[in-house]
């Protein structure tokens, strides 16, 4: 049992590092370029959507991109409507990671790590060359982490009482939805949560159909990070974050209510249901389907966010700055 736990924690840690290492470096290197593009693209809905998809696919973290977007909206550099569209694009872009790790190439993880180190650590110049190196390195960590988690879940299958508990959870779609939601709030990454779901399916611990509610919960929970980032922005940033969260929550609940139909659609685009590809396709399909009505509901989403963001609400930044000013005034 100890070996299983250690293997899972090690795999999860490598997977986690793989996601966030690249995200942090990408934000540092590409942050100014992304902000410049966003400023120039104002008013072009589809450009904003595909920009959100593309940037998030590169950065491998919708949380990072969404935090940048909310900050730009709060700073008045991007409109509320454009910010909502960008968040929708970022949600779709975040599924690219799942599609990559679902390919039958995870055995090349150590090779990718080695190639990445050559590009990243041995003095090759150019920020984009270094980005390629960091990308290969982090992707290799994702593959290795996924293999270790799959091995750990295979071991759990031999532990009867734990397997029984997991079977009980898997039998209830709403419990799986809640677990996916909670796990993503804790881990702050839907990609990591979905990776765990894929490992469970690959190991045979859980049926792929039972993981779909888990994925729906995970993709909903990732919007919590956006709302946390909005706490230090102006009201417009809060409007975008809160309105988008409500919209995504409703979309996920609708998918849960019509879970049978959604599962059928995923099955239509997946050749082998009992695979990690089934989980990745469910993740991608939901985000694509949720993005379509959004273009027709921008006004309603913004109004919902505005109702949840009172005009007099202070941001955390204003609160702390105000507290410092008050203490300074009292001190004088």
pLDDT, tens digit, 9 for 90 and up, residues 286-303: 999 999 999 999 999 999
> Mean pLDDT, the chain, as a whole number?
77
CB-neighbour burial class of residue 39 (10 A; exposed 0-12, middle 13-18, buried 19+): exposed
DSSP structure string for 93-118: HTHHHHHHHTSTTGGGHHHHHHHHHH
**pLDDT at 12 exceeding the cut of 60:** yes
Mean pLDDT comparison of 39-48, 166-175, 221-230, 242-251, highest-scoring range: 242-251
Q: What is the pTM of this model?
A: 0.76
In angstroms, the Cα distances linking 87 to 20, 59, 259, 283, 332 are: 19, 14, 24, 16, 45
Q: What is the rounded average pLDDT of the residues 263-278?
A: 86
Contact (CB, 8 A) for 244 and 223:
yes
**pLDDT at 142 exceeding the cut of 80:** no
Q: What is the rounded average pLDDT of the residues 269-274?
A: 80
Q: Which residues contact 253 (CB under 8 A, 6 or more apart)?
A: none
How many CA atoms are closer than 13 Å to the CA of 139, on its beta-carbon side? 27
On whether residue 327 sits in a domain, the answer given is: no
Per the structure, the count of domains in the chain is 1
**Confidence (pLDDT) at 325:** 42
Angle, helices 259-268 vs 208-221, to 10°: value is 110
User: pLDDT band at 169, cuts 50/70/90?
Assistant: confident
**Confidence (pLDDT) at 9:** 75
CA–CA separation, 223 and 90 (whole Å): 11
On whether residue 33 sits in a domain, the answer given is: yes
CA–CA separation, 92 and 264 (whole Å): 20
**pLDDT at 261 exceeding the cut of 70:** yes
| Residue 314 per-residue DSSP state | P
**Confidence (pLDDT) at 13:** 74
CB-neighbour burial class of residue 73 (10 A; exposed 0-12, middle 13-18, buried 19+): buried
**Confidence (pLDDT) at 224:** 77
Q: Which residues contact 31 (CB under 8 A, 6 or more apart)?
A: 68
Model confidence over 58-90: pLDDT tens digits? 766 676 677 777 777 877 777 888 889 988 998
**Confidence (pLDDT) at 40:** 66
**pLDDT at 324 exceeding the cut of 50:** no
Nearest to 129 by CA among 52, 56, 29, 32: 29
**pLDDT at 171 exceeding the cut of 70:** yes
**Confidence (pLDDT) at 159:** 58
In angstroms, the Cα distances linking 324 to 10, 44, 313, 317, 319 are: 43, 41, 18, 11, 9
On whether residue 309 sits in a domain, the answer given is: yes
On whether residue 205 sits in a domain, the answer given is: yes
Enclosing domain of residue 217: 2-320
Q: What is the rounded average pLDDT of the residues 224-231?
A: 73
* Maximum CA extent, the chain: 73
In angstroms, the Cα distances linking 235 to 88, 230, 242, 244, 315 are: 20, 8, 10, 14, 8
| Residue 7 per-residue DSSP state | H
Contact (CB, 8 A) for 156 and 115:
no
Contact (CB, 8 A) for 27 and 59:
yes
Model confidence over 194-203: pLDDT tens digits? 888 888 888 7
**Confidence (pLDDT) at 140:** 78
On whether residue 330 sits in a domain, the answer given is: no
- Among the residue ranges 15-24, 94-103, 232-241, the one predicted with the least confidence is 15-24
**Sign, Cα dihedral of 284, 287, 293, 299:** negative
On whether residue 328 sits in a domain, the answer given is: no
| Residue 122 per-residue DSSP state | S
Contact (CB, 8 A) for 146 and 195:
yes
- Among the residue ranges 20-29, 77-86, 177-186, the one predicted with the least confidence is 20-29
**Confidence (pLDDT) at 316:** 47
**Confidence (pLDDT) at 52:** 81
Q: What is the rounded average pLDDT of the residues 266-275?
A: 83
Percentage of the chain lying above the pLDDT 90 cut = 18
On whether residue 288 sits in a domain, the answer given is: yes
More confident call, 19 vs 224: 224
**Confidence (pLDDT) at 10:** 78
Angle, helices 223-230 vs 62-74, to 10°: value is 30
């Amino acid at each position: 049992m100890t070996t299983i736990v250690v293997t899972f924690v090690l795999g999860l840690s490598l997977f986690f590092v793989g996601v966030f290492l690249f995200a942090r470096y990408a934000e540092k290197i590409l942050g100014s370029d992304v902000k410049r593009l966003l400023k120039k693209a104002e008013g072009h809905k589809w450009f904003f959507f595909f920009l959100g998809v593309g940037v998030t696919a590169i950065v491998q973290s919708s949380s990072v991109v969404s935090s940048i977007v909310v900050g730009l909206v709060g700073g008045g550099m991007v409109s509320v409507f454009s910010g909502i569209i960008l968040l929708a694009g970022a949600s779709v872009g975040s599924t690219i990671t799942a599609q990559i790790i679902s390919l039958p190439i995870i055995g090349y993880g150590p090779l990718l790590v080695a190639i990445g180190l050559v590009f990243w650590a041995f003095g090759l110049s150019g920020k984009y060359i270094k980005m390629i190196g960091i990308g290969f390195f982090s992707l290799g960590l994702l593959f290795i982490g996924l293999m270790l988690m799959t091995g750990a879940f295979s071991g759990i299958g031999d532990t009867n009482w734990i397997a029984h508990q997991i079977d009980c959870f898997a039998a209830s779609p709403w419990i799986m939805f809640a677990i996916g939601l909670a796990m993503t709030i804790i881990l702050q990454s839907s990609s990591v949560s979905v990776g765990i779901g894929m490992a469970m399916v690959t190991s045979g611990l859980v049926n792929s159909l039972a993981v779909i509610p888990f994925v729906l919960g995970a993709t909903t929970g990732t919007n919590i990070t956006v709302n946390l980032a909005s706490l230090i922005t102006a009201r417009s940033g809060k409007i975008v974050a809160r309105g988008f969260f409500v919209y995504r929550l409703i979309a996920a609940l609708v998918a849960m209510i019509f879970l049978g139909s959604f599962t059928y659609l995923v099955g239509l685009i997946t050749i082998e249901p009992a695979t990690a590809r089934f989980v990745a396709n469910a993740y991608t399909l939901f985000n694509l389907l949720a993005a379509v009505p959004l273009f027709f509901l921008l006004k309603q989403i913004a109004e919902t966010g505005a109702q949840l963001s009172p005009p007099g609400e202070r941001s955390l930044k204003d609160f702390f700055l105000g507290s410092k000013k008050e203490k300074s005034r009292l001190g004088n």
